Amino acid sequence: GAVVSQHPSWVICKSGTSVKIECRSLDFQATTMFWYRQFPKQSLMLMATSNEGSKATYEQGVEKDKFLINHASLTLSTLTVTSAHPEDSSFYICSARDLDRGDEKLFFGSGTQLSVL
């Protein structure tokens, strides 16, 4: 099956710094990737849909200037948490679909645990 690689798996940073998370599709081209946020023992909340070569589509309530998404190539999407604060601490997960194969299921990265001190 398709593989999605996400890095880093965990990061600790000081309040006010920016953190970049990478999501790569290793063996397929992903024109669309999805970024989710998950709090402990809760569900995944869709943050935004990342579209290759165009602007991301953000869900209601998600600050686009806070969570910058770049999808510069067919295999890479990045999420940058700008000026991170403790309330941004969370588990961030990316996923992608292999639309070229008509595959409707989502392939997930292993997630990034962000802790902001």
Partner 1 sequence: SQQGEEDPQALSIQEGENATMNCSYKTSINNLQWYRQNSGRGLVHLILIRSNEREKHSGRLRVTLDTSKKSSSLLITASRAADTASYFCATEATGTYKYIFGTGTRLKVLA
| 34 contributes a contact to partner 1 by CB under 8 A | yes
CA 59 to chain centre: 13
Q: Which range of residues in 13-21, 37-45, 66-74, 75-83 is near partner 1 by CB under 8 A?
A: 37-45
| 28 contributes a contact to partner 1 by CB under 8 A | no
Q: Which range of residues in 11-19, 62-70, 74-82, 107-115 is near partner 1 by CB under 8 A?
A: 107-115
Please, what is the minimum distance in Å from the beta carbon of residue 51 to partner 1? 10
Phi-psi region of 83 (alpha: psi -120 to 50; beta: other; left: phi over 0): left
Instruction: Work out the burial of residue 96: count CB atoms within 10 Å of its CB; fewer than 13 is exposed, 13-18 middle, 19 or more buried.
Output: buried
Rg over CA atoms, the chain: 13
Q: Residue 8, preceding bond cis, omega within 30 degrees? A: yes
Could you give the string, one character per residue 39-68, with x where binding to partner 1 holds by CB under 8 A and - elsewhere? --xxxxxx--x-------------------
- Rule CB under 8 A: choose which of 13, 20, 32, 76 binds partner 1: 32
Number of residues in contact with partner 1 under rule CB under 8 A: 25
